Amino acid sequence: MSLDNNGGIYYRDIYPFRDVPRFIVDSSELEENLQKIYLTDTTLRDGQQGWRVFTLDEAVKIYELLADIGGAGAIQSTEVFLYTEKDREIARTLLSYGYKYPKVIGWIRATFSDLQLVLDMGLDETVILTSISDYHIRYKFGLSRREVLEKYLSVVEKAMSNGIIVRCSLEDITRADIYGVAVPFVRRLIELSEKYRVPVRIKLPDTLGLGLPFPEVPLPRGIPSIVRIIRRETGLPQEYIEFHGHNDFGMVVANHIAAWLYGAAASNCTLLGIGERAGNCPLEVMAIHYAGIRGRNGINLKALSRIPELFEKMGMKTLEHYPIIGKNAFRTKAGIHADGLLKNPEVYLPFDPMEVLGLPYSVAITPYSGRSAIVIWIRNYLGYDGISKDDPRVVSIYNEIIELFHRTNRTEPLTNEEMMEIVRKYFPDVAR
């Protein structure tokens, strides 16, 4: 807590402004859990199948950006398909970089033919899809629980006997029988891990986004309940548990944070949250929370600003109001906000976006932006300091803007080029 000479309270320990807000908990158990967290990525797997197929060049650019963001250890792995020749070419190309992080790992179904793809590629780790709810076991496979689990275990054992680290994805965990199926299955996996002395990791996918982040919510929807029970009943180390959420009910970020808090170290995300149906957990948002918990060492937040440009070149238009990296994330259109920013940016900014992300805060000029927004625009684009909103030139610019919108019935903000044309009339020394 920070006090000024007038006794104002600003909570500088939580909101340092030149850094991301701090993520503080008042539980020693949860604090200990947060010391082991990390990110993983599935943009080239779930993101690709949920949006559109990537070219080799696009996949490489995505991987290079992931490495720039989290190659120092924050993003520990990225999943790839191996089914087509192009998939395998992508995998070979990414492996040729030789990066420790993000580690390139496979993603396969629990079949021996899929496992052969991993062996042929020479990968030492793969996700294996092991759907765990009765919805999948009975309706998708038409088999009994025992038959399906034995099928999974036979493929896992073959992988481990070849030295491959297995990451079993317990698909549809939020509709599964945790005590009756999930826990016994994980125990069997741990037995195989001990037999072959190869680590086993567990992915917990909230496949339909049904999970809820509150510790009071019981099985099967409570994410804290699921994570705690898996850990308690199996003894699996926190660092071997990964959570993979979907956003069907708009809870994905909250569920991923809850998974971190209650003992799943890995948060499996995609860039821009692309993925099946309503999408996955957005990596760029979780990166901000990661930095608020672990600090910015190991993660390059300024690289996040390149995500929209990359995906726009691929045909995806980022929503203007998208958190953190949307065009409106640090841009105000409201006059009262612009006035607050002019007096002190901390009034309407959660942190300094230039310091953290390399992005300036800005204003959009409309009839509702007010004269303070014009002053900020002039300062940002012309470098003029010391001009007040009562300056006669600013008042004249404001009046002309009001008249323009009234005359043309315009609805969109002025472009920077249009603003420049107006401003030049009152600041004639501005170069053309």
For residue 34, pLDDT beyond 90: yes
- How far apart CA 34 and CA 257 sit, in angstroms, is 10
Instruction: Tell me if the domain spanning 28-313 has CATH number 3.20.20.70.
Output: yes
Using pLDDT thresholds of 50, 70 and 90, give the confidence band for residue 2: low
Contact residues for 339 (Cβ-Cβ < 8 A; gap 6+): 370, 372, 389
Q: Is the pLDDT of residue 431 over 80?
A: no
User: Lowest mean pLDDT: which of 4-13, 122-131, 189-198?
Assistant: 4-13
pLDDT, average across residues 358-376? 91
Round to whole Å and give the CA distance between 301 and 325: 11
Q: In whole angstroms, what is the distance from residue 10 CA to residue 340 CA?
A: 16
Q: Which residue has tokens 């020749």?
A: 85
DSSP state of 212: B
* Mean of pLDDT values over 245-264: 98
Per-residue confidence band for 228, with pLDDT thresholds at 50, 70 and 90: very high
Range in 268-277, 309-318, 382-391 with the lowest mean pLDDT: 382-391
**pLDDT tens readout for residues 335-357:** 788 888 888 899 999 999 999 99
Please report the pLDDT score of residue 5 as a whole number.
66
Distance CA 343, CA 348 (A): 10
Tokens of 323: 């958190």
Residues 6 or more apart whose Cβ sits within 8 Å of residue 159: 115, 118, 126, 128, 166
Distance CA(360)–CA(302), nearest Å, equals 12
**58-62, 85-89, 337-341: which has the minimum mean pLDDT?**
337-341
**Residue, of 79 and 362, whose pLDDT is higher:** 79
pTM of the complete model:
0.94
pLDDT over 80 (residue 396):
yes
pLDDT of res. 383: 84
pLDDT at 321: 93
In the predicted structure, residue 7 carries a pLDDT above the cut 80: no
pLDDT score recorded for residue 24 = 95
- Quickly state the pLDDT bin for 429 (edges 50, 70, 90): confident
User: Where are the domains positioned within the chain?
Assistant: 28-313, 331-426
Judge contact between 104 and 91, C-beta under 8 A: yes
Q: What percent of the chain has pLDDT over 70?
A: 98
Q: In angstroms, rounded to a whole number, what is the distance separating the alpha carbons of residues 146 and 232?
A: 23
